[in-house]
């Protein structure tokens, strides 16, 4: 990646953090869906997140078969930002409905030791695939089209409004003609 690309990503990450802290107002408890529980591996249990088949090509094919976009959720046990994602953002009915509609979510552990077949057919541990996919922190959500092309990612925590805008950005093909910063600005989020 060129230096300008790194600067753009860093700028976008900083903007997303500012927006997160400005917009992260707690929702009334009665407006939220039931809270998830921690699963045996220390990750938040969510019925709408599919376990990986152990082969990301098969996960991608399952998404394609259902007419959905593959969303890879990279998390780790004990991640406070992952907890916020599951206990705040993804408990909001409007966001959850949107996420579970057009997306086929699969969760991977950023530092996991399970062997997984990557999208190119090569086998690595989850930790190694995370490195190959340039996943630095958690949570990170990658979006892949049916041909395996990554079209966008959400690196880190995001306010619910920004998270919803990101899922819309992918679903509506915003990445084809606008930057995510422009997408947020048009929606009054920047």
- Output the pTM of the full model: 0.82
Distance CA 79, CA 8 (A): 25
Which is nearest to 163 in space by CA: 89, 103, 74? 89
pLDDT for residue 98: 83
Identify the pLDDT of residue 176: 96
Residue 31: its pLDDT value, please? 85
User: How many Cα atoms occupy the beta-carbon half-sphere of 150 within 13 Å?
Assistant: 16
Task: Give me the residue spans of the domains in the chain.
Answer: 3-186
Task: State the pLDDT at residue 19.
Answer: 37
Q: What does pLDDT average to in each consecutive run of 10 residues of the chain (190 residues)? A: 42 40 42 90 91 97 97 97 95 90 96 97 98 97 97 94 95 96 92
In angstroms, rounded to a whole number, what is the distance separating the alpha carbons of residues 83 and 75? 10
CATH class of 3-186: alpha beta
Query: What is the pLDDT at residue 11?
Result: 41
CB 64 within 8 A of CB 146: yes
């Amino acid at each position: 990646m060129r230096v300008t690309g790194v600067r753009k990503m860093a700028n976008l990450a900083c903007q997303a953090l500012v927006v997160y802290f400005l917009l992260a107002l707690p929702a009334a408890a009665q407006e939220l869906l039931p809270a998830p529980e921690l699963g045996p591996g220390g990750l938040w249990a969510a019925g709408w997140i599919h376990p990986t088949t152990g082969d990301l090509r098969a996960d991608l094919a399952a998404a394609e078969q259902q007419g959905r976009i593959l969303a890879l959720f990279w998390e780790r046990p004990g991640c406070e930002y992952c907890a916020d994602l599951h206990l705040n953002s993804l408990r909001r009915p409007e966001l959850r409905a949107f996420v579970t509609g057009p997306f086929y979510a699969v969760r991977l552990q950023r530092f996991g030791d399970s062997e997984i077949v990557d999208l190119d057919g090569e086998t690595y541990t989850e930790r190694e695939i995370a490195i190959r996919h340039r996943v630095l922190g958690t949570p990170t959500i990658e979006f892949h089209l049916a041909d395996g092309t990554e079209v966008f990612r959400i690196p880190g925590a995001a306010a619910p409004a920004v998270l919803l805008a990101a899922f819309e950005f992918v679903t509506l093909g915003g990445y084809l003609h606008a930057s995510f910063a422009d997408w947020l600005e048009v929606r009054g989020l920047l």
